[in-house]
Amino acid sequence: MLNSVIKRSALCRFKFTCLQVSECRPAQIEISKRLYSAKASGNGEYDLCVIGGGPGGYVAAIRGAQLGLKTICVEKRGTLGGTCLNVGCIPSKALLNNSHIYHTVKHDTKRRGIDVSGVSVNLSQMMKAKDDSVKSLTSGIEYLFKKNKVEYAKGTGSFIDPQTLSVKGIDGAADQTIKAKNFIIATGSEVKPFPGVTIDEKKIVSSTGALSLSEVPKKMTVLGGGIIGLEMGSVWSRLGAEVTVVEFLPAVGGPMDADISKALSRIISKQGIKFKTSTKLLSAKVNGDSVEVEIENMKNNKRETYQTDVLLVAIGRVPYTEGLGLDKLGISMDKSNRVIMDSEYRTNIPHIRVIGDATLGPMLAHKAEDEGIAAVEYIAKGQGHVNYNCIPAVMYTHPEVAWVGITEQKAKESGIKYRIGTFPFSANSRAKTNMDADGLVKVIVDAETDRLLGVHMIGPMAGELIGEATLALEYGASAEDVARVCHAHPTLSEATKEAMMAAWCGKSIHF
């Protein structure tokens, strides 16, 4: 009798535990918070230690602190913001914008009715403007850390055991040992080296060096026709360099839609950048003041050797987890050195999670940010959200290129029936009046249900326009849904609406 009573109560509790699992996660955090408060000035164990202060890491740290976790962020660069803020997205955008203004003023004012003379580049001032914006943004993150009570450990982290990270201080910061209940690896990526080519950041540069050349090179060769290569190529081309892009694949623009890629190379060629596609680099040597480059066209096997002032190696990036001691812990990686994670960003050691460039998926700052938030929410709330179909990609050339969802190639491969709707910016009133009407919007929808599958655009402000398409895709909208939304006139966004109309019923109004 007594036994059966015990049994029932135990079972009840057991079932309760099972049912409550999802709700139990916050309780778990709460109890861990209580644990910490119980030993407030004790051994200083953290709820969360984020390794890396880039866009993935710092966002995760701030979100963690906002959700009540005692959080510390380890960064060895000396400034927060990672590659993106220090030597990536942000400084390149400063140069892209200012070089574009220079180029417009110099070449494009006469027909607009503005006569300007004596236009010249002051490169050191342009670099200073870039450095100032980087500085204000990186110190802005330090302020955000303070505001959200995220502790900041300046130094190089290395795992001692799965619960402990030793940090070797830099810039006069003391060494320390961090014990934490959860870790997030957000160490990002580094430049992918080209075998046999040594990057000296003066003559043979990576994207980092290309952001701070001391003078405008006469001739510049860009190895890799992806986003980084075309952006940096654009900067120096506008400032006066003769830029040649060497791309191994038959088309530039990496994973972008084939139609957009074609339009891109047409428009960019007009701006003076030369493309050598289906071409591989055989060797590159610094030869006095210039670099000797040997290339081979893979279609006709023709070899060519020429001199260039600067060679930019921009063939991609590789995950960076060096010195972290992941092999010591036995954390599983894949053959490209990406840390393998599950759907909740856990490595094979569950309390160590990984986000951003260090793991699978596209290497984009905003993807890392969203993963950082999701990973922290999995820790604190047991639930997170990243939709990998809705991660927009933007290239900040002029015109900009932006896309979200699947490409037409992918739609063909997967054998689904699809419809295409396009609309050129040359038929958009705002683009026309701005005298900046190169490009088009291309919408891919499911042929039967009209559901949006992908949106690709090349044109003015495409990077801003893609936001609307991303939202529509996230919400499962059809082309009709977007077309029925009122868009202000005259705006560039009307081009999106008209392309949606074209995809939905085959006809846009203005084209």
Partner 1 sequence: MLKHYIHQCVKASSCKHSLSVKQRYFHCSALNGVASMFRMPALSPTMEEGNITKWHFKEGDSFKSGDILLEVETDKATMDVEVQDNGILAKVLIEKGSNIPVGKNIAIVADAEDNLKDLELPKDEASSEEQSFSSSKEEVKPIVQDRETKSNVEHKSTSQANDAVNKSFLPSVSYLIHQYKIENPWSIPATGPHGRLLKGDVLAHVGKIDKGVPSSLQKFVRNLEVLDFSGVEPKKPSYTEDSVPVRKSTMIETLKTVPMKDEYITFERSISLEKLKSLLAKRKEKDAFGIDEVVSAMIGDALSISELSKVEPNSIESAYDLLLGAPIVKLKSSVSNFQPKLFPKNNNTKDLHKYIRDSMIGLPSNLSDYVKLNFSSVTKSSSNNVEFLDDVYDMLLGSNSDSIDSRINRHEEPSTTEDLTLTLSIKDNISKSRAIKFVDCLKSNFENPEFVLSRW
Binding residues for NAD(+): 224-231, 247, 281, 316
Spatial separation of the C-alpha atoms in residues 242 and 307, rounded to whole Å: 12
Binds partner 1 (CB under 8 A): choice among 109, 383, 387, 409: 387
Binds partner 1 (CB under 8 A): choice among 104, 166, 208, 337: 337
499 binds partner 1 (CB under 8 A): no
Site string for partner 1, 65-94 (x = CB under 8 A): ------------------------------
The answer to whether residue 489 is catalytic is yes
Q: Site size for partner 1, by CB under 8 A?
A: 67
CB atoms within 10 A of CB 78: 13
Q: Are strands 290-297 and 151-161 parallel, antiparallel or unpaired?
A: unpaired
Binds partner 1 (CB under 8 A): choice among 170, 179, 481, 505: 481
Nearest CA to 218 out of 280, 302, 306, 327 is that of 306
Name the 3-class secondary structure at 373. Answer: helix
Site residues (CB under 8 A) for partner 1, limited to 154-213: 161-163
> Residues 107, 385, 489, 510: which is the catalytic one?
489
DSSP secondary structure letter of residue 478: B
471 binds partner 1 (CB under 8 A): no
101 binds partner 1 (CB under 8 A): no
- Using the contact rule CB under 8 A, the part of the chain among 182-190, 223-231, 273-281, 333-341 near partner 1 is 333-341
Reported for 189-193, long-range contacts at CB under 8 A and 24+ positions apart, including other chains, are: 189/83, 189/317, 189/318, 189/319, 189/320, 189/357, 189/358, 189/363, 190/83, 190/317, 190/318, 190/320, 191/313, 191/317, 191/318, 192/315, 192/316, 192/317, 192/318, 193/313
11 binds partner 1 (CB under 8 A): yes
361 binds partner 1 (CB under 8 A): yes
10 binds partner 1 (CB under 8 A): yes
31 binds partner 1 (CB under 8 A): yes
Spatial separation of the C-alpha atoms in residues 459 and 398, rounded to whole Å: 8
Binds partner 1 (CB under 8 A): choice among 144, 329, 420, 505: 329
Residue 441, phi then psi, degrees to nearest 5: -115, 135
- Using the contact rule CB under 8 A, the part of the chain among 9-17, 99-107, 395-403, 424-432 near partner 1 is 9-17
Binds partner 1 (CB under 8 A): choice among 330, 409, 432, 507: 330
Spatial separation of the C-alpha atoms in residues 186 and 60, rounded to whole Å: 9
User: Residues comprising the binding site?
Assistant: 75-84, 93, 157, 187-189, 224-231, 247, 281, 316, 357, 363-366
CA 95 to the chain's CA centroid: 18
13 binds partner 1 (CB under 8 A): yes
- Using the contact rule CB under 8 A, the part of the chain among 6-14, 144-152, 218-226, 271-279 near partner 1 is 6-14
Q: How is residue 300 written in tokens?
A: 């006709």
Q: Any residues with CB less than 8 A from the CB of 227 and at least 6 apart, and which?
A: 253, 254, 393, 395
390 binds partner 1 (CB under 8 A): yes
Q: How is residue 330 written in tokens?
A: 């036995």
Spatial separation of the C-alpha atoms in residues 136 and 132, rounded to whole Å: 6
Binds partner 1 (CB under 8 A): choice among 309, 357, 369, 450: 450
Spatial separation of the C-alpha atoms in residues 271 and 438, rounded to whole Å: 12
- Using the contact rule CB under 8 A, the part of the chain among 14-22, 55-63, 103-111, 231-239 near partner 1 is 14-22
Q: Which CB atom, from 286 or from 485, has the smaller least distance to partner 1?
A: 485
DSSP secondary structure letter of residue 56: H
28 binds partner 1 (CB under 8 A): yes
Spatial separation of the C-alpha atoms in residues 511 and 242, rounded to whole Å: 37
- Reported as type and span, the H/E element at residue 93 is helix 89-107
Name the 3-class secondary structure at 116. Answer: coil
Q: Which CB atom, from 298 or from 505, has the smaller least distance to partner 1?
A: 505
Q: What is the DSSP string of 426-461?
A: GG-HHHHHTT----EEEEEEETTT-BEEEEEEEETT
38 binds partner 1 (CB under 8 A): yes
258 binds partner 1 (CB under 8 A): no
Active-site amino acid positions: 489
* Contact set with partner 1 (CB under 8 A): 3, 6-7, 9-11, 13-15, 17-18, 20-21, 24, 27-28, 31-32, 34-35, 38-39, 161-163, 327-330, 332-335, 337-338, 340, 342-343, 348-351, 360-361, 387-390, 405-406, 414, 416, 446, 448-451, 453, 474-478, 480-481, 484-485
